[in-house]
Structure 1
């Protein structure tokens, strides 16, 4: 094989391997985009549902001192919006900063149901207002500071959404697989290149050692 032909062969093999690598990367990227869009659509829909439920809670507690729901009102709201949990706390921190929430929680913890304090601490101290946050397993919750007309109070709304949990888990798995795939593809590319070209380079070296022009 001439020097020109050898270089052309190597270039064609490199090009073929690069095309395969690009196709695999494109498929991985496409799957990530599809999962991301489906997840964001579901998150936006759930956030809108919980925000609507929070506004309904606000309307119901207006005029009550302290702001609260009757068991009947709570049950009806949970059924209407498909909630797995609903709680109104007749107090709220002055702002959304972590330090402010910690101080506020320490001041009201004595008035909270003892059996729910660990769960409430996790939800109130690790999430932002008006933000959908994942809880345990398939649960998602939403902390809503009620407007001043409903008193200084918070509503905590929860909903079990297996579909969104599945998409969240899938996104993490696909991301990990994607990173591993890129590393594996790079390694395979290097190994294949070395495996394919090694015999030709060996023959070329032997020819040069023998004084032949290649």
Structure 2
């Protein structure tokens, strides 16, 4: 429940109702490392402005800020955002990164960004995911990059161990976005394998769907 100044309460939105208790329960220290695909794709980019959608504890946002990017990072959980802000202050990065509470199923921050990153934006909550990703695309500045990285396999430590789950291909996701091919240049659209580390040091080979598109008239 959310309490207003007059003492009245209203139910939390569905996403907040799931993720806020999740992060309140989960106090395991985070690795502090960025997602591998993000680090690889941005390695040679000139730092600019970036929108990090569903930032969690801020691993990507803080890494990007440390590389000179001006980061706007959003998440629906106030608890996880406080952790991220504390890490930014500890690492002297508060001038380069802003953490905002935002339910991305409803809206995204105003403005345009040189990089819009949506890393593993899967959720057990039913949200209009294609709509969220279209909003993400609309937030990309001209010549900017849209980067979507999705799970394409289940790690042994994943919360979802349904053997019948079917992951969409990168082409499936790209098709559902319905972007105008005359205004988007594919940089990378592929399923790629990597070695992932679990919360207790486990290691496993997993597959990521990678969609990297540059916004530019052809």
Q: Into which bin does the TM-score normalised by the smaller protein fall?
A: under 0.3
Query: Larger Rg: 1 or 2?
Result: 1
TM-score (norm 1): 0.24
TM-score (norm 2): 0.23
**Greater share of residues in helix:** 1
**Greater share of residues in strand:** 2
